[in-house]
Each structure stands twice: as structure tokens, then as C-alpha cells.
């Protein structure tokens, strides 16, 4: 059996999307909490060995490391044939959303959350306004995509890695103090109803 281990942290929407994918798909794996607020040289030796960019998530399979959340999602879909990996056309459609997310909502929303939760610096008001403008454009793109009545981003009967990718930071919308429009809210509720779902603060928690 292929041994997998994921390194993550509950404040990382990037780690969340990968672990959610693993859990919903029923892909067996171990999980290790990484304290991302520690200096990087104080994190575990195993994590530092495998994380070439010093970031979570990292997925290690039989000693081989995969990094960057969207690259990991593509790897898992290709490898398992699940969640959009069933055929090349579906996988290409997933990849389009993953690339869009990385440059759009996956860029602005995490930064808004950081400003609101960790660093409410008045000198950054201009940056916050620009990020909010980007967020509103991006979430409206998702809203428009879902307004045709589809349940999932690709329009099929089941979620794909595109859905897990796009929800990664939207689950923290309240912390970022942003509004989520109705079709996107309903889509997030469908994701939250999947077997294997937990909020990142539970799914990626440190061991007690």
C-alpha cells in the first residue's frame, strides 16, 4: 500500500484544500501538524527536508515530496483517477480553475484575511481596498458560474479538485470580513455536507 503523509496547519487554506480532498476521496494518509508561526529553522527535520519552499502543505509519498497545493491536487487526481482525474478533458477543465484560483481569489482572499485577523495596520488601508476590489470581482465570477443551477464547478454530479481548490480560503470568509453571495454560499454548504468534511480548525488541528 502506498504510504502518504501530509504536513499542514489549520490556518492554511492551501493545506485545507489538500486534506479535504484526501478525506472526501477516502485516500488513506497520515497527518502531521506544522507550527507555521515558529521560525522555519525550528520546524521538524522531516518537514524541512521535504518542503523545498518551507511552506505547507507538503505531501510525501514513499519518500517523494509534492509541494504547492494546486500541484498536489492535480497529482492526486491523476494518480487516483478520482475527483476530476477520470479523463483528460475533465482534468484539463480542473486545471483551468486551479490556475485561475492561484492568480485570483487564492491571491486576494488570503491577504485580506491576514490583514483582518493578524495585522490590522491602518497604513495598509490602500492595499486592503485594492484586495477587496479584486475579491469582489473574483467571487462574482464564481457566483455567475454557479447561477445556472449546477451543484459543482464543472457541472457534473460530484465535486472535483476544482471545488476543493476554490473553497480553500472561502471557508474563512468571516475572518476576512467579506460577503459571500448566495449561489457561492449554497455551493459551500454542499461541500460542507460531504462525508469527510470538517472545518480546517478541526481537520488540521494539532494533536492534543
C-alpha cell recorded at residue 29: 494518509
**pTM metric for this prediction:** 0.96
Q: Are 127 and 154 in contact (CB under 8 A)?
A: no
Average pLDDT, stretch 161-181?
98
Q: What is the pLDDT of residue 123?
A: 59
Residues 6+ apart with CB under 8 A from 180: 139, 170, 173, 188
The H or E element spanning position 159 is: none
Q: What is the pLDDT of residue 125?
A: 81
State whether residue 10 is helix, strand or coil. Answer: coil
The H or E element spanning position 9 is: none
- The gap from C-alpha 7 to its chain's centroid, in whole angstroms, comes to 14
Residues of the chain with CATH 3.40.30.10: 4-82+197-203
Percentage of the chain with pLDDT > 70? 98
CATH assignment, 88-192: 1.20.1050.10
pLDDT 10s digits, 109-164: 999 999 988 876 655 788 889 999 999 999 999 999 999 999 999 999 999 999 99
Residues of the chain with CATH 1.20.1050.10: 88-192
pLDDT 10s digits, 44-98: 999 999 999 999 999 999 999 999 999 999 999 999 999 999 999 999 999 999 9
Q: Are 18 and 72 in contact (CB under 8 A)?
A: yes
Per CATH, domain 4-82+197-203 is 3.40.30.10 = yes
Distance CA(182)–CA(174), nearest Å, equals 15
Distance CA(107)–CA(101), nearest Å, equals 8
Distance CA(61)–CA(65), nearest Å, equals 6
Amino acid at each position: 500500500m502506498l504510504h502518504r503523509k501530509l504536513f499542514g496547519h489549520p490556518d492554511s487554506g492551501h493545506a485545507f484544500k489538500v486534506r479535504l480532498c484526501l478525506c472526501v476521496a477516502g485516500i488513506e494518509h497520515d497527518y502531521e501538524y506544522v507550527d507555521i508561526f515558529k521560525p522555519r529553522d525550528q520546524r521538524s527535520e522531516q518537514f524541512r527536508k521535504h518542503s523545498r519552499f518551507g511552506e505547507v502543505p507538503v505531501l510525501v509519498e514513499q519518500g517523494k515530496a509534492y509541494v504547492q497545493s494546486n500541484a498536489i491536487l492535480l497529482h492526486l487526481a491523476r494518480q487516483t483517477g478520482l475527483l476530476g482525474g477520470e479523463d483528460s478533458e475533465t482534468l484539463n477543465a480542473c486545471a483551468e480553475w486551479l490556475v485561475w484560483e492561484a492568480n485570483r481569489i487564492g491571491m486576494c482572499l488570503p491577504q485580506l484575511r491576514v490583514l483582518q485577523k493578524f495585522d490590522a495596520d491602518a497604513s495598509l488601508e490602500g492595499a486592503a481596498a485594492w484586495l477587496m476590489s479584486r475579491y469582489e470581482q473574483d467571487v462574482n465570477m464564481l457566483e455567475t458560474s454557479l447561477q445556472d443551477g449546477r451543484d459543482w464547478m464543472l457541472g457534473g454530479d460530484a465535486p472535483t479538485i476544482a471545488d476543493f481548490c476554490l473553497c480553500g480560503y472561502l471557508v474563512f470568509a468571516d475572518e476576512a470580513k467579506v460577503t459571500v453571495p448566495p449561489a457561492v454560499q449554497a455551493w459551500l454548504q454542499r461541500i460542507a455536507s460531504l462525508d469527510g468534511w470538517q472545518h480546517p480548525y478541526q481537520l488540521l488541528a494539532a494533536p492534543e
